[in-house]
């Protein structure tokens, strides 16, 4: 496959990786408990040069995100060290918001386009 096509289809050297982050908060958490957690999570992720998309439901407490790296204003591939940073951020947030966080799961690096 030609390089131009590989780039267009995100194959070979153009594969971009990211991770899935699943957080389970206490069901029925009020806005005063829900929003500070999200603000802290967003700040922690952005501080490491990463970006995150997704959201959560305060009624059920289920939150799902996809995290990847940002460079030059666009999303690029994560590396294993980036995943480790997300794990450390979540462990720190678990200490800070431990009464609100039931559990969290940081998935393996996966192809962001598949």
Please determine, for residue 98, whether its predicted confidence score (pLDDT) is greater than 80. Answer: no
pLDDT digits (tens, 9 = 90+) for 38-86: 899 999 999 999 999 998 887 888 999 999 998 877 778 888 999 999 9
Which residue in 36, 90, 76 sits closest to 106, CA to CA?
A: 90
**pTM of the entire structure?**
0.83
Helix (H, G, I), strand (E, B) or coil at 44: helix
Q: How high is the pLDDT of residue 10?
A: 65
Question: Domain map of the chain by residue range?
Answer: 13-111
Q: Is 35 helix (H, G, I), strand (E, B) or coil?
A: helix
Q: Buried b / exposed e across 27-58, counting CB within 10 Å, b at 16+?
A: eebeeeebeebeeebeebbeeeebbbeeebeb
pLDDT (0 to 100) of residue 33: 74
Pick the CATH number of 13-111 from 3.30.70.600, 3.30.70.20, 3.30.70.520, 1.20.1600.10: 3.30.70.600
């Amino acid at each position: 496959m030609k390089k131009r096509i590989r780039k267009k289809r995100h194959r070979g050297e153009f594969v971009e990786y990211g991770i899935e982050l699943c957080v389970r908060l206490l069901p029925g958490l009020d806005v005063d408990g829900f929003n500070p957690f999200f603000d802290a999570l967003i700040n922690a992720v952005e501080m490491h040069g990463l970006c995150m998309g997704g959201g959560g439901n305060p009624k059920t407490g289920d939150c799902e995100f996809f995290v990847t790296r940002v460079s030059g204003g666009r999303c690029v591939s994560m590396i294993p060290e980036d995943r480790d940073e997300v794990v450390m951020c979540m462990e720190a947030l678990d200490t800070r918001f431990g009464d609100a966080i039931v559990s969290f799961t940081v998935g393996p690096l996966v192809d962001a386009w598949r």
